[in-house]
A and B are shown apart, each in its own frame.
Chain A
Amino acid sequence: MMYRLLKPLAFGERIVPVGAVKRLGLDDEAIEKLLHRGAIAPVNMPPLREIPLWKSRAAGLLKIGILDADQFLEAPNKILAEHLKVEPSAIEEWKAELLRWLIPTTEDGGCHC
């Protein structure tokens, strides 16, 4: 699940600013506490078929029940690779591509242009 930071979050000595959208990699209990504190909010992910140039990948992934970006990002690379008949490294690249599309960067102001 992706979350938008509503308060700056401290990961050890590193502080991630408000507005960042991240997969937090924390356990359920920690997520629950941060939600309760109003520090984070879940981000609703778009269906994969809505991602530009992802229609064919989305159709393939739909066959194994993966409909949206969150499900795709959470699914193990090995299983995805076996199903789509590609190398796991390709899945890793697709996930990175998807994250670049989903998360606005300071470089392009989020326009992906």
Chain B
Amino acid sequence: MAQTTTAVNACDVVVNLDNSSGTLTDISGSSNEVSMDFSNNLGEFRTFGTEWPVRMQCGADATISFNAIYSTTASEAVDILKDWFFTDRDSRTIRVDIPDSSVGSDRYTFEVWLESMNIPVAVEEPAPILVSATMKPTGTVTLSTIAS
């Protein structure tokens, strides 16, 4: 089998998150990791005289989390997260473009609630504070191909 020539890495991934005005804001410059976990809702049963369970599929769900650099500039990732938790607690859109935002790239779009935000503050840590946030989608998560 031929070796792939189209592998991608995450170097140029673009992450956008709604600010409090509902405007998608590029937070790629103040975040460095995004994780999207997708799961199917499976049920199972097994009857007398059988060894292997039968499984059925029903719903689907996702969890999205990302790491943000704690910075003091307005409209950067942590500023938006703080505002989201403490001020405007509505659902928001988050969008992840892989490998970048050019034509042909994959675009994952979520409408999400902020589930948790972790701000680890340790005196012995010289690196910037890395804030993590976890979000759960409400409604359908969309995968599309960027056309323009």
List residues of chain A with CB under 8 Å of any chain B CB: 7-13, 15-16, 24, 26, 29-30, 33-34, 36-37, 39
Contact = CB atoms under 8 A, between A and B. Distances in A.
Contacts of A34: 103-104, 145, 147
5 contacts: A7-B144, A7-B145, A8-B142, A12-B148, A39-B147
A37 B147 CA distance: 11
B62 interface: no
Nearest to B103: A30
B143 A8 contact: yes
Contacts of B24: 13
Nearest to B93: A13
Interface residues on B, range: 10 to 19
B92 interface: no
A95 B107 CA distance: 32
Contacts of A7: 143-145
Contacts of A15: 109, 142, 144
Given A15-B109, A15-B142, A9 B104 contact: no
Contacts of A16: 147
A39 B103 CA distance: 11
Interface in B116-148: 142-148
Given A8-B142, A39-B145, 11 more contacts: A7-B144, A7-B145, A10-B145, A10-B147, A15-B109, A16-B147, A26-B103, A26-B147, A30-B104, A33-B102, A34-B104
Given A13-B24, A15-B109, A33 B144 contact: no
Given A13-B24, A15-B109, A26 B104 contact: no
A37 B148 contact: no
Given A26-B103, A34-B103, A36-B104, A8 B144 contact: yes
A30 B148 contact: yes
A10 B109 CA distance: 10
A45 to B, nearest CB: 21
A12 B107 CA distance: 10
Contacts of A11: 147-148
Contact of A30 (B107, B109, B142, B147): B147
